[in-house]
Structure 1
Amino acid sequence: MKVLRSTRFLTTLLAAAALAGAAFAANYSLWINGRTGGGVAGNYADFTYWGPAGTAAGVNKKAVNWDGYNHVSDTNHLIRNALDCYCTGPNWCYVAAHSAGNLQIGYALSLYGGTARYKKNATPGSDGSCANSDGTTQTGWNIKWVNVAAGAAGGSELANAGDWALSEPLVSDLKTATARAMYDHNNTRGKMFYLWAGAKGTAYSFVLPGQDDEAIAYHSAGGISGSGGGSYCNPSDWLCNDLTLGTAPAEGGKAKWTNHSVVFRDTAEAYNHYTNGNWQGTVGLVRADMVNNAK
């Protein structure tokens, strides 16, 4: 009888521990900024880049701040810190990225998404890193999907032409040939990338082919594969091939990167590249989607 009672007691304790672990599981919404930065690195509550911090932007939103200035290779550890903190163990993440933030999450998944990651306790220190929860590891991160506003994974012709400060290390990363060769864009570790492409370009963005949002052309924002950028437009423009919705190849047959799907194509040419410190541009559309679906 004593053995039976001890076994039953142990079973009860294990069940209680499992329930306690489940109770602490949480979902998080990670926001990865683009060029120019804006928030303090390691401070996941600093939404300076995006807009008012009190604005709804998905469940348990966190700002994954990096300086938006230095090379992706030199700053990507900040993104991996956040993914380790909030997307391991019982916790899951939704990721939203803007502009060069697209390069950051793509780089992290392609190059590190198949590596062993220590499960973390989701309680970051001042440097943005978290302590191990139980000493065990897992492969990659628990990510449900990635939303991208004005994605720069394909680079920008503005970087090619020297329209941005050439002293910025990030600008060299944003050259179209460099951005497209930086990592395997098809290797998303099975995670879907949902894309929002703006088209409110201006006369001074003539160096950008096809439709653009003043900084990024459709070939990049639309996830078009290949070693160089092409000219892609809205269906109303007969001068270049259409950027198609979903995962289908663009008009003319050029494929999108694997697991990349265009959710929004700016046929009204109403959205530009910039947040304007108030969640604007295509970022506003992504924010609305995060509110509705990142729960």
Structure 2
Amino acid sequence: MKILFLGDVMGRAGRRAVSERLKKLREEWRLDFVVVNAENATSGAGLTAAHAKAILEAGADVITLGDHAFDQREMLTFCEQEKRIIRPLNFAKGAPGSGARIFKDARGRQILVTQVLGNVFMKRAFDDPFSAVDQVLRANPLGGNAQAILVDVHCEATSEKMALGRWCDGRASVVVGTHTHVPTGDAMILGKGTAYLTDAGMCGDYNSVIGMEAEEPMRRFVTGMVKGRFTPANGEATLSGLYVETDDRTGLATRVEMVRIGGRLQDARP
């Protein structure tokens, strides 16, 4: 199975890059399944129903969220209606929507998509991500009812992402990090066969401070004072993510490549 994961879509620039490029990539790379993290797609904070629909129409099969999952209040109800949206597995027991679900590609192969939030350096303590994802993986053994499994680990700390990657090694096809908006260079296949990347980066304008116009973040760092709101940068965006090929029999990864297309980062693609 050929899988593409795209990192955090950041504001209008990120949405524009996905809308303009994703369908062409699906055709050129003959992709079987595409997962897009879009928790920052609406003004850099959350996701509206309209923007979710646009990303799905652009070629995403599934959208994952994150700690900003419900910053846009309409997502509280929309994620119940639109089953292709996955919120964090360990967000809260009473949270709407689902943190894990099995989908099918065009050939009928089943892929499980799930997401967990980290605890280290996050603004609030979430339920234990290790036990949360363990429960899902035990109930859905790789190569059984799921030909592939993708785990989005939405964490601040690189060490926590790495630990979760190894916790899932051999039990998931792909473990890919999101949240920091900064792409890492450590794409690899772990010892037991899971494709791994600490952070996929963002689909957004990198002439910025993690996707925001630089003036206000810099003012806060330099002076410690708040003057205005953060505003998403709106220059040419880079599509950042991870490309993975898996074996249909075992579900394990056979190839992994970082993806960087357009914008200011040096291109990297399969």
TM over 0.5: no
Q: Please give the TM-score of this superposition, normalised by the length of structure 2.
A: 0.35
Higher strand share: 2
For normalisation by structure 1, the TM-score amounts to 0.32
Larger Rg: 1
The structure in which a higher percent of residues are helix is 1
